[in-house]
């Protein structure tokens, strides 16, 4: 059986990729996708812990489903915002959309 640490390391790698993508990508859609990566890395952790820890009553799995649900909603709202941004600025590059400053 594959030990828990492998899952955790994989989750950490995926999360780090997500953080890196969110911090470095200029495209708003890519950032959303990176956030999705981070969420899924978390989901992976939930599932792994639910499998390996004793006396759990499906809490990990339920939480993962919750996260997926919220992620779907978030993606919908996020893509709608991106569409709105595009209509206003004709671009989806976040470094060009910097009105909200001093």
Partner 1 sequence: MLKLIWLVPVLPMVGVVINGIFGRWIRDRAHLLGVGTTGLSLLIALGIFFQTLGGETLDWDVYSWVAVGNFHATVGFQVDALSAVMMLVVTFVGFLIHVYSVGYMHGDPGYARFFTYMNLFMTSMLVLVLANNYLLMFLGWEGVGLCSYLLIGFWYRKQSASDAGKKAFVVNRIGDAGFLLGLFLIWRTFGSLNYAEIFPMVPDIQQVLTRPSVLGLSLVTWITILLFIGATGKSAQLPLYVWLPDAMEGPTPVSALIHAATMVTAGVYMVARSNALFSAAPFSMEVVAWVGGLTAVFAASIALVQNDIKRVVAYSTISQLGYMFLGCGVGAYASAIFHLGTHAFFKALLFLGAGSVIHALGGEQDIRKMGQLKQKLPITSRTFYWASLANAGIIPLAGFWSKDEILAAAYAGHHSFLWALGSAGAFMTAFYMFRLYYTVFEGKDNVDHHAAHHVHESPPAMAYPLMALGIGTLLVGVLFGFPPDHGLYHRFVEPVFAAEGMEAHAIGLETTLGLAAVATAVAALGIWGLARSWYKTGDSPAPARAAERFRGLYALILNKYRVDELYIAVFVDFGKWLCRLSWTVDDKGVDGTVNGTSRLTVVLSQVSALFDFRGVDGLVNAIADVIQGGSQAFKRIQTGVIQNYLLAMAMGIFVIVSLYFFF
71/91 Cα distance (integer angstroms): 24
Helix (H) or strand (E) holding 4: helix 4-24
| Three-state SS at 97 | coil
Selected binder of partner 1 within 4, 8, 10, 94 (CB under 8 A): 94
Q: Is 8 in the site for partner 1 (CB under 8 A)?
A: no
Q: Is 88 in the site for partner 1 (CB under 8 A)?
A: no
Residues from 18 through 47 that contact partner 1 (CB under 8 A): 19, 22-24, 31
For partner 1, the binding residues (CB under 8 A) are 19, 22-24, 31, 94-95, 97-102
């Amino acid at each position: 059986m594959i030990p828990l640490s492998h899952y955790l390391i994989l989750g950490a790698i995926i999360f780090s990729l997500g953080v890196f993508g969110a911090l470095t990508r200029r495209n708003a859609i890519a950032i959303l996708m990176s956030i999705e990566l981070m969420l899924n890395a978390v989901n992976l952790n939930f599932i792994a812990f639910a499998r390996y820890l004793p006396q759990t009553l499906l809490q990990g799995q339920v939480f993962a489903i919750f996260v997926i649900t919220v992620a779907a909603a978030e993606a919908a709202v996020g893509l709608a915002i991106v569409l709105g941004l595009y209509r206003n600025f004709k671009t989806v590059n976040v470094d060009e959309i910097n009105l909200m400053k001093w």
